């Protein structure tokens, strides 16, 4: 803390220096937002409020110097550092009708230009998300034999992806093979609604010459 306090004085005005725990009230919520766990401590992170971007200084905090911290702060300000994105550990999706996407493999799965990917961004505590779960599982089961149609889910409380800002749960976004910017889905949420919508909007299904309905479950 002595080095950190000295750095705060030396680099005053560049950023606001502060410190926090992770287990009490607002500190716990801040830690969740920043993606900090007990195992990470001690760790140094920067948040830029205007865009809500977070940055994690590499290396051990014990090796921190006033100079190195100042250099890192300036690099963040100058846009030379990539933002820190929260991520759970990837899981084995083999044989799963609904693909679990995390921050770490978001680009690999969702941005695959050979596949159409429909993603449910959810929060574990969200009632509407829980209500949608059985329908989503059925939808995944329906398309599980089509390797180029991916029905996926992304816990947006524990993971982040560059360019993705989720403001409500569940948020459903379709990433067709030819438009990885994504298309919002705002229709009804029954199984047939999703099937009909994909039949009309999925390049994979259109190119295959089918409607994607096949045999009903």
Q: Is residue 43 part of a domain?
A: yes
pLDDT at 215: 41
pLDDT at 31: 87
Four-CA torsion 122, 128, 130, 134, nearest 10 degrees = -100
Q: Do 65 and 159 lie in a common domain?
A: no
The string of pLDDT tens digits covering residues 131-143 is: 999 999 999 999 9
Q: Do 201 and 144 lie in a common domain?
A: yes
Q: Do 204 and 113 lie in a common domain?
A: yes
Q: Across all residues in the chain, what is the average pLDDT?
A: 91
The string of pLDDT tens digits covering residues 113-126 is: 999 999 999 999 99
Q: Rounded to an integer, what distance in angstroms lies between the CA atom of residue 9 and that of residue 4? A: 9
> Is residue 217 over pLDDT 60?
no
Q: Do 51 and 112 lie in a common domain?
A: no
Q: Is residue 84 part of a domain?
A: no
Short-list 53, 54, 57, 50, CA closest to 72:
57
> Is residue 210 over pLDDT 60?
no
Q: Is residue 216 part of a domain?
A: no
Question: How many domains does the chain fold into?
Answer: 2
> Is residue 96 over pLDDT 90?
yes
In this structure, what CATH number is given to the domain that contains residue 138? 3.40.30.10
| Gyration radius of the chain's alpha carbons | 21
Q: Do 162 and 123 lie in a common domain?
A: yes
Q: For residue 154, what pLDDT band results from cuts at 50, 70 and 90?
A: very high
Between strands 149-155 and 116-122, the pairing is parallel
Q: Is residue 184 part of a domain?
A: yes
- Paired strand residues for 171: 121
Domain encompassing residue 195: 99-208
Q: Rounded to an integer, what distance in angstroms lies between the CA atom of residue 65 and that of residue 69? A: 6
**What's 165's DSSP letter?**
-
Q: Which residues of 127-161 are buried (b: 16+ CB within 10 A; e: fewer)?
A: eebeebeebbbbbbebbbebebbbbbbbbbbebbb
Q: Rounded to an integer, what distance in angstroms lies between the CA atom of residue 154 and that of residue 99? A: 9
Q: Do 184 and 117 lie in a common domain?
A: yes
Q: Is residue 172 part of a domain?
A: yes
Residue 183 Cα distances to 93, 129, 186, angstroms: 24, 19, 10
Q: Do 38 and 131 lie in a common domain?
A: no
Q: Do 181 and 105 lie in a common domain?
A: yes
Q: Is residue 159 part of a domain?
A: yes
pTM over cut 0.75: yes
Q: Is residue 93 part of a domain?
A: no
The string of pLDDT tens digits covering residues 35-56 is: 888 888 899 999 988 878 889 8
pLDDT at 207: 86
From 44, 77, 110, give the residue that closes a domain. Answer: 77
Q: Do 65 and 115 lie in a common domain?
A: no
């Amino acid at each position: 803390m002595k080095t950190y306090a000295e750095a705060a004085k030396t680099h005053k005005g560049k950023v606001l220096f502060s410190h926090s725990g992770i287990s009490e009230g607002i500190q716990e919520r801040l830690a969740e937002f920043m993606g900090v766990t007990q195992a990470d401590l001690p760790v140094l992170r920067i948040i830029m409020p205007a865009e809500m971007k977070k940055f994690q200084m590499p290396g051990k905090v014990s090796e921190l110097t006033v100079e190195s911290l100042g250099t890192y702060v300036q690099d963040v300000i100058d846009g030379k550092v990539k933002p820190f994105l929260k991520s759970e550990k990837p899981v084995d999706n083999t044989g799963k009708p609904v693909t679990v996407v995390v921050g770490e493999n978001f680009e690999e799965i969702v941005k695959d230009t050979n596949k159409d990917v429909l993603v449910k961004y959810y929060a574990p505590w969200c009632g509407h998300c829980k209500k949608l779960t059985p329908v989503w599982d059925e939808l995944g089961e329906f398309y599980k034999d089509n390797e180029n149609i991916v029905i996926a889910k992304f816990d947006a409380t524990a993971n982040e992806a560059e360019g993705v800002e989720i403001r409500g749960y569940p948020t459903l976004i379709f990433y067709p093979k030819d438009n990885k910017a994504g298309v919002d889905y705002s229709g009804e949420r029954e199984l047939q609604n999703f099937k009909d919508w994909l039949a009309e909007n999925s390049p994979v299904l259109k190119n295959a010459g089918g409607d994607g309905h096949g045999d009903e479950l």
